[in-house]
Homo-oligomer: A and B are copies of this chain.
Amino acid sequence: MATIKAAILGFGTVGQGIYHILKERKQELLEKLGVELEVAKILVTDASKERVQNTLHLMTESIEDVLAEPGLHVVFEAIVNEEPAFSYLKRAVEHKCHVITANKVMFAKRGQELEQLAKEHGVGVGYEASVAGGVPVIKTLKNILLVNNAQRIQGILNGTTNFILTKMRIENVPFEEALSEAQRLGYAEADPYNDVSGQDAFKKLMILSSLAFGEQPNWAEIEVIGVDTISQTDMEAANLQNLRYRHVAEIERLADGTLVGKVTPLLVDNVHPLYSIDDVNNAVTVDTDYIGTITLVGPGAGMYPTASVMVEDYAAIMLKGVGQAVSI
Contact = CB atoms under 8 A, between A and B. Distances in A.
Interface of A: 21, 25, 28-29, 32, 134-136, 139-140, 143-144, 146-148, 270-271, 273, 275-276, 278, 290-299, 302, 304-305, 307-309, 311-312, 315-316, 319-321
Contact of A294 (B298, B307, B315): B298
Contacts of A147: 21, 25, 28-29, 308, 311-312, 315
A271 to B, nearest CB: 7
A291 B315 contact: no
A307 B293 contact: no
Contacts of A29: 147
Given A136-B144, A136-B294, 17 more contacts: A25-B147, A134-B292, A136-B143, A140-B296, A144-B308, A146-B316, A146-B319, A147-B308, A147-B312, A148-B312, A270-B276, A271-B278, A290-B308, A291-B299, A291-B305, A294-B296, A295-B295
A273 B271 CA distance: 14
Can you tell how many copies of this chain the complex includes?
2
A39 to B, nearest CB: 15
Contact of A298 (B25, B146, B276, B295): B295
A116 to B, nearest CB: 17
23 contacts: A21-B290, A28-B147, A32-B146, A136-B140, A136-B143, A139-B139, A140-B140, A140-B296, A143-B316, A144-B309, A146-B319, A147-B308, A148-B312, A270-B276, A271-B278, A276-B276, A290-B305, A292-B302, A292-B305, A293-B298, A293-B299, A295-B295, A295-B296
A144 B312 contact: yes
Given A25-B147, A296-B296, A315-B147, A134 B271 contact: no
Nearest to A288: B308
A272 to B, nearest CB: 10
A169 B290 CA distance: 30
B144 A291 contact: no
A276 B275 contact: yes
A155 to B, nearest CB: 14
A28 B290 CA distance: 14
Contacts of A140: 136, 139-140, 143, 296
Contacts of A146: 32, 311-312, 315-316, 319
A239 to B, nearest CB: 15
Given A315-B146, A321-B321, A292 B297 contact: no
B294 A135 contact: yes
Given A21-B147, A139-B140, A140-B136, A308 B291 contact: yes
Q: Which 4 A-B pairs have the closest CB atoms?
A: A294-B298, A290-B308, A276-B276, A146-B315
Contacts of A143: 136, 139-140, 143, 312, 316
